[in-house]
Amino acid sequence: MKQILTIIIGFLILVSCTPNESKFKSTVPPLEERIVQSDKPRLAGDQPLEINLDVPFFSQAPDADWGMPWQEACEEAAVLLAYYYATDQSPTKEEFKADIQKLVDWQIENYGDYEHTDIEQTAEMLRENFLSQSLITEGEQALVRLQDINLNIIKNPSIEELKQELSQGHPIIAPFAGRQLGNPFYSAEGPYYHMMVIRGYDEKHFITNDVGTKRGENFIYPYETIMSAMHEWHDTDINLGEAKVIVLY
């Protein structure tokens, strides 16, 4: 009887200590139709009050295996999710995993390791693997495929600059001092360095696809948290890392 009571009490404690996931999820409906840009630039007054781009989601450990390389695959995962949205792709989990491994292998070959990349390296990885010309073969014909997207790096972005990019349909890849984000679903202290996709905003929050947890789809962070925790990789102190983001067009 005592053993049963102990189990029941332990379960109740566990339930009471588990964060309410719904409090961290956006209620802004995902924008199902992609934003089509006109020749006329969007004016600041045209900016919607809220927006949520329909960026696909997988965690960086899609099989819940947090061993290597998945434990350190946040950069690769964030790059891929933003790229899939920009190119209107809906990959399977197996395709996503294969693409992560491709990027891991590329970094080992070009950087010597894959565990931490700053924004410039992440942008180079994206360009070299997905945005450059590539030769493909169809039957007896060799064709050159051009991806009709581009990227831009913004240094020290403001909240309004990020919102303006999102309102024009541009997903954002952003780096962080992960333990400053305060995500209750991270294990232990959370990642020292982290990267994820900013996909939208509402009146008080940025909406993200946080690849560092299986609960990361449509995950909201207050504006202040995103801006204060935004740091790219720095070899000695993550707090010295600059605030930069990659915007995909």
Predicted confidence (pLDDT) per residue in 88-112, tens digit: 999 999 999 999 999 999 999 999 8
| CA separation for the pair 86, 199 (Å, rounded) | 11
- Hey, what are 132's tokens? 């450059």
What's the burial of 220, exposed, middle or buried (CB within 10 Å: 0-12/13-18/19+)?
Answer: buried
| CA separation for the pair 200, 166 (Å, rounded) | 6
Stretch (H or E) spanning 143? strand 141-145
| Winning range, highest mean pLDDT, from 2-6, 64-68, 105-109 | 105-109
Question: Over 70: is that where the pLDDT of 227 sits?
Answer: yes
Residue pair 209/197 in contact (Cβ under 8 Å)? The answer is yes
User: What structural domains and CATH numbers belong to the chain?
Assistant: 27-32+44-248 (3.90.70.10)
pTM (predicted TM-score) = 0.84
Which tens digits make up the pLDDT trace of 154-210?
Answer: 999 999 999 999 999 999 999 999 999 999 999 888 999 999 999 999 999 999 999
**Crossing angle (nearest 10°) for helices 74-86 and 119-126:** 50
